Each structure stands twice: as structure tokens, then as C-alpha cells.
Amino acid sequence: MRTEKDTLGEVKLPDDVYYGAQTGRAVENFRISNLKLPRRFIRAQGVVKLAAARANGSLGLLDRKRSGAIEKAAGEVMRGMHDAHFVVDVYQAGAGTSQNMNANEIIANRAIELLGGKRGDYSLVHPNDHVNMAQSTNDTIPTSIYISALEAVREGLLPALERMKETLAEKSVEFDGIVKAGRTHLQDAVPMRLGQEFGGYASAVKNDIARISGASGSLLYLPVGGNALGTGINAKPGFRSRVIREIRKITGIRFESCENPFEGIQNVNPALQLSASLRGLSVTLIKIANDIRLLSSGPRTGFAELKLPAVQPGSSIMPGKVNPVMAEMLNMICFQVMGNDTAIAYAAQASQLELNVMMPVIAYNLLSSLDILANGINAFTEKCLWGIEADAERCKFFADTSLAIATALNPVIGYSNAAGVSKEAYMTGKSVKQVVVEKGLLKQKEADRLLDPLRLTGK
């Protein structure tokens, strides 16, 4: 064990940990969930600390040896070499002070080692004075949220959605010649092509890609350099622009300083905006997953228009049963994302005066949503959408027997007569075409032309 001190007194720590006294207190104080902020967030903290060390070094506030050690330690944090030492629970000190100090202490103690010292010898590198120089929890935590969330969107979610959209578009082409009955209110409606239905799904995903891309654009504007409130206290002139420049170099993303650092620290609205777009995506995905579950229902007693890939047995008691498990999985993910969005909305509205103190739970829920959506969409696309097959004969049967095909008779025999034909067809079990010819309302040839399901599906 080693003993470290903070402003409240002494704290005993295991010799082999890189974190220090404030983290040690947080571990004792916040034994809540055993949930930690994820890898992407820790990487983003490393990005911020590396960029700040470079900026302060270029301004002459850190000597080259100390700056170099901090930069190397921060780089190791970025690469995940010290993740085991990020031990603070998600439900922790407001604003993420414990999380920020966890990073500061790990980087400081690793930098001390690199300089030949022993952990805890903060005369060499101090967590607050050197690693946290010109920074505050209040500007580094939202900055880390935005960096990690934007990287998650660009590297994970958007590529997954693009693959899904392309797969749905390919299925739209594959199924374009298959005529089926449309359905509204879960009742028979006019004919359509299965390809048109899948084309609608592809277009819906395309629209969500655009909405998420637009919402994630607000993450480009970082409050780092505003320090505690936005005044930039204890930061040398030029620090703000330099730290942003360094973050750009490290991430390859064109981040900018937020227009008003006071607003940027008071609120976490970019995270709220992105989460709202994920909620909207979830609505779209639930609709698609539910449709696929319905259209594949059966195989004997349901719609059975689609055949899904069998990826695992569906029942522990009913032999041979196969369930739409990938669609069910996607639904559960989307329900969780909607719950996460509710937590984020409540946490975002909890901003008071100069600061939002609920940022750790915002970070955790937002990054969780991005992660499970990307993984779930990839799995659904690969193990369900790619292998979907259509039962063309089943689709044709429903298209031919749908009573709603009588809609095509409205311009010729009028709505009332068409309704009568539809009702008689239902009561007698005959087709609409058979009834309209038997009643003398149309000749056979004209009925064949007007009631051709494929013609009725448009272009």
C-alpha cells in the first residue's frame, strides 16, 4: 500500500494502481452499480489531456520533459493501456469531477514513472497543476462526451446504417416483381409490390441517416478552454485555440470552439439533440422489425410472405419451431435506447445556473445507445436482412383474393357499386373479379384489365 494526500487528508491506495487519492475516495463513496464509462469516453479523455499538454507546452507553461511524459501517458490512455485503472462508477460526483480526476491521476502517476519517479511523487508531475492545467471538469467532460459520441457515430452507427440501407435497397430490387396485398389498419388494402414495401424501409433508414448526421454536427463545437464557467480562468491567452487545433490533429475531425463557452458549459444540448435523433431512428427500426415479424409469421397460420434465415432453435419445448429472433433483438435494443433518451432528457434539463452536473449519466447513456444500435443493426442486417426470401406464390394469393382490389372499380362503376361488389365477394367467398362480371357491371376482358394486380401497383 502507499499513502497519498488530498485536500481532505490521507488516503491509502494499493501500490499497483495508477489512480490517486481522489479516485480512491470515489471508489469508496460510489459503490453503486459497477458500471463504468466506456472505452470510447476514456479514449476521448486521453485525447483532451494530450491536446492540453501540447498546448500548454507550446505556450511555455510546461517544460519539455514534463510535457513529454504527460503526452506519452495520455497517449497510452487513448490506446486503452490503463483502462483497468479507470474505476469510478457511472453514478458519481456531479459533473464528472471524479472521472476527470481519475484521468488526471492515472496520467500523472504514469508520467512520474516515465520520468523515473515513484507513483504518488507529485513534485514531478501533479494531477491538478500539470495534467489538468488550464482545464476544468466543467469543460473537459462535455468535450470528452462530444468527441467520443461523434467518433461513435462516424465509425460505428453511420456505417451500420449505410449497410442496412443498401441491403434493404437490394432487396427492394430483388422483390420488385412480386405483387402482394397491401395492408392498412391490419386489414386488406390495394395491391403493391413487395419491392415497394422494402423500398419504403430503405428510404426511411436513409432519412434517419440524414437526421443523425445533422444532429451529430452540433458535437463539433467544443467548450474546452472555457475552464470552470466559460471565462477561461487560469488559461493563458491562446490556449483555447491551440487545444482545439491539437484535438483536430489527434482525431482528424474538424472540431471548433463553441460560439459561446458560457452556454457550452451551462448546457449539454448537443448530446440531447443527438439522443433525440437516436430515439427517432429507434421508431423507424421498431417499425421495420415489427413488419418483418408480421410478414414472416406462420409458417402455417400467419402471413408467411417472408422466409427468414433460421439462426437458432426457437423453443425449449416445441420441436422445430424457429422464431424471428434477430427482429426481436433489434426491438429490445430500440426500447433501451428510448429509455436512455428519457434519462438523457431529464439529465439535460437538470442544468442549473452555470453548469450541468448530470454529465456522467448523459455520457454513459448516449454512448451506450450508440454502441448497442451499431452492433444490433449490423447483426440484424447480416443475420436477417441479407438472407430474407419471399414466398412469391403466397404473396400472389393474397393480392388476387384481397377485397380491397375493388378500389380500382371506383372510377368505372362508382364507390357504392364497388362497395356492393366487395361485400358480395366477401359473403360468397368469390373473387371481386368474378362478382363484377357475374353482375354484368363489367365484361370479362375489361375486368381482367382493370383488376390486374400488377397494373395497380404503379411504377
Amino acid at 196: Q
Beta strands in 98-204 (DSSP E): 179-184, 187-193
Whether 185 is a known active-site residue: answer: yes
- pLDDT at position 181 is 96
The position carrying cell 416483381 is: 177
Residue pLDDT, tens place only, 164-206: 999 999 999 999 999 999 999 999 999 999 999 999 999 999 9
102 falls within a domain: yes
Taking the C-alpha atoms of residue 136 and residue 225, their distance in angstroms, rounded to an integer, is 9
Taking Cα atoms as reference points, which of 179, 177, 171 lies closest to residue 396? Answer: 179
Considering the domain boundaries, does residue 146 fall inside one?
no
Convert the pLDDT of each residue in 426-450 to its tens digit.
999 999 999 999 999 999 999 999 9
Q: Is 46 within the bounds of a domain?
A: yes
pTM: 0.95
Counting the structural domains of the chain, the total is 3
Alpha-carbon distance 44 to 51, whole Å? 10
227 in a domain, yes or no?
no
> Are 268 and 355 contained in the same domain?
yes
Q: 159 with 34, same domain?
A: no
Asked whether residue 205 falls in the same domain as residue 322, the answer is: yes
Q: Answer for the pair 409, 194: CB distance below 8 angstroms, yes or no.
A: no
- Whether 420 and 379 map to the same domain: the answer is no
CATH number, domain containing residue 353: 1.20.200.10
Asked if the structure places residue 242 within a domain, the reply is no
Residue that is last in its domain, among 372, 392, 412: 392
The torsion defined by the Cα of 308, 311, 314 and 318, in degrees rounded to 10, comes to: 90
- 378 within a domain of the structure (yes/no): yes
In terms of domains, do 371 and 439 share one? Answer: no
User: Do 307 and 391 touch, CB atoms closer than 8 A?
Assistant: yes
Q: Is 3 exposed, middle or buried (0-12, 13-18, 19+ CB in 10 A)?
A: exposed
CATH code (residue 450): 1.10.40.30
The DSSP result for 310-344, as a single string, is --S---SSSTT----HHHHHHHHHHHHHHHHHHHH
DSSP letter (8 states) at residue 191:
E
Question: Does residue 274 lie within any of the structural domains?
Answer: yes
Mean pLDDT for 129-133 is 98
The CATH number that applies at residue 47 is: 1.10.275.10
Q: Is 126 a residue of the active site?
A: no
Nearest-angstrom CA–CA distance, 220 and 213:
12
Is 206 within a domain?
Answer: yes
Q: 54 with 110, same domain? A: yes
Which of 341, 366, 392 represents a domain boundary (last residue)? 392
Range of the domain at 322: 151-179+193-218+262-392
Mean pLDDT of 334-354: 97
Confidence category of residue 276, pLDDT binned at 50, 70, 90:
very high
With contact defined as beta carbons under 8 Å apart, do 361 and 368 qualify?
Answer: no
Q: Find the catalytic residue in 315, 351, 368, 431.
A: 315
Is residue 99 very low, low, confident or very high in pLDDT (cuts 50, 70, 90)? very high
pLDDT mean across residues, the chain: 97
Residues 42 and 76 occupy one common structural domain: yes
> Do 279 and 425 have their domain in common?
no
Pairing of strands 187-193, 179-184: antiparallel
Q: What pLDDT is attached to residue 449?
A: 94
Same-domain check for residues 326 and 383: yes
Same domain, 57 and 21: yes
> Which residue in 123, 185, 316, 416 is the catalytic one?
185
If asked whether residues 314 and 425 sit together in one domain, one would say no
Per-residue pLDDT reduced to its tens digit, 141-162: 999 999 999 999 999 999 999 9
Q: Which of 350, 365, 392 is the last residue of a domain?
A: 392
**What's the grid cell of residue 294?**
408480421
pLDDT of amino acid 459:
78
Same domain, 382 and 408: no
